[in-house]
Amino acid sequence: MLELSPALAEYSDFFFEGFRNTLILAIGGLIGALVIGIIVASLRVWGGPVLSPVGTAYVEFFRNTPLIVQLSFCAVLFAPRNLNITADPIVVGILGLSIYTGSYVAEAIRSGILSVDPRQVEAARSLGLTQFATLRLVVLPQAIRTVIPPLGNITIALTKNTAIVGAIAANELLKVAGVIETRTASFDGYIAALIAFWCLTIPLAFVVSRIERRLKFAR
């Protein structure tokens, strides 16, 4: 591929740096989103009348506003003028992606927990299991099955959303392709970026649909 395009050959290191950053954004964003999602879902399910509305408000607000607005807000917040932190745009990007994606993860986890029949919890409790043991041995093993397919779909969406982080000056694939285009007037960077994104999202989608089918039959 590199022989076909002098522009890509010249900037191949730069391009692979972009690919690496896209991977870092996706993996970092997923970990952050899982942490936020678990906390927010716990708030919604077990938070009681005071904390569960906070969880609901989090989910509804961040799910219904554009990612680019949330990312730009984070970028401004960490700018020297406000918090006196000049943060790496990759770090800000991971934070923004985590906040946004966390609201979707929270919903997936919550619906997983709610998919377990409450009578099972009552039965386990009346057999003498503690609340924690009930959660660990009865609820979570079943909830996982409902949670995995939507989590996979959220991961695909997250991977695609990393392209937006380029707008706050992080050198991910799409941004790198743009820089190559300005410097060499060659469109090859964009073609390569497209193929690189497909190499991530298409296998992911394939794996997710396989898991989805298997879990459907398992029940």
Partner 1 sequence: MMVAEGGRPRLGRTAIGRLVVVVVVAALITAGAVSGALPARRWEPFFQASTWTFLGEGLLVTLVVGGIALVGSLAISVPLGMARLELRGVLGGLVTAWIELVRATPILAILVIVFLGLPRLGVRLEALQAAVIGLIIYNSAVLAEIVRAGIASIPRGEVEAARSLGLGYVSTMRFVVLPQALARMTPAIVSQLITLIKDTSLAFILGAQELVGYGRSFFNFYGNSMETYVVLAILFFLICYPLSRFSRRLEAHQPVAERVVVPGEADQLAAATP
Binding residues for partner 1, rule: CB under 8 A, are: 49-54, 56-57, 60-61, 63-70, 72-73, 76-77, 82-83, 101, 104, 107-108, 110-111, 114, 149-150, 153-154, 156-157, 160-164, 166-167, 174, 178, 181, 187, 190, 193-194, 197-198, 201-202, 205, 208-209, 212
Nearer to partner 1, 39 or 114 (CB): 114
Q: How far apart are CA 181 and CA 179, in angstroms?
A: 5
Give the nearer residue to partner 1 in terms of CB position, either 66 or 127: 66
Q: 212: which residues sit within 8 A by CB, 6+ positions away?
A: 149, 152
Q: Which DSSP string corresponds to 137-160? A: IIIHHHHHHHHHHHHHHHHHHHHH
CA distance 90 to 81: 19
Q: How far is the CB of 12 from partner 1 (least distance, A)?
A: 20
Q: Give least dist CB 54 to partner 1, A.
A: 6
The burial of 72, by beta-carbon neighbours within 10 Å (0-12 exposed, 13-18 middle, 19 or more buried), is given as middle
CB of 183 to partner 1, least distance (A): 14
Report the residue number, 68 or 91, with the smaller CB distance to partner 1.
68
Cβ closest to partner 1, residue 56 vs residue 125: 56
Q: Which of 38/156 has CB closer to partner 1?
A: 156
Q: How far apart are CA 209 and CA 153, in angstroms?
A: 9
Taking the C-alpha atoms of residue 71 and residue 68, their distance in angstroms, rounded to an integer, is 5
The pair of structure tokens assigned to 59 is 């989910």
Q: Min. distance of Cβ 129 from partner 1 in angstroms?
A: 26
Query: Least CB distance from residue 164 to partner 1, whole Å?
Result: 5
- For residue 28, give the nearest of 153, 155, 193 by alpha carbon: 155
Q: To the nearest whole angstrom, how small is the minimum distance from the Cβ of residue 203 to partner 1?
A: 10
Convert 44-94 into a string of H (helix), E (strand) and C (coil): HHHCHHHHHHHHHHHHHHHHCCCHHHHHHHHHHHCCHHHHCCCCCHHHHHH
Rank residues 39 and 205 by Cβ distance to partner 1 and give the closer one: 205
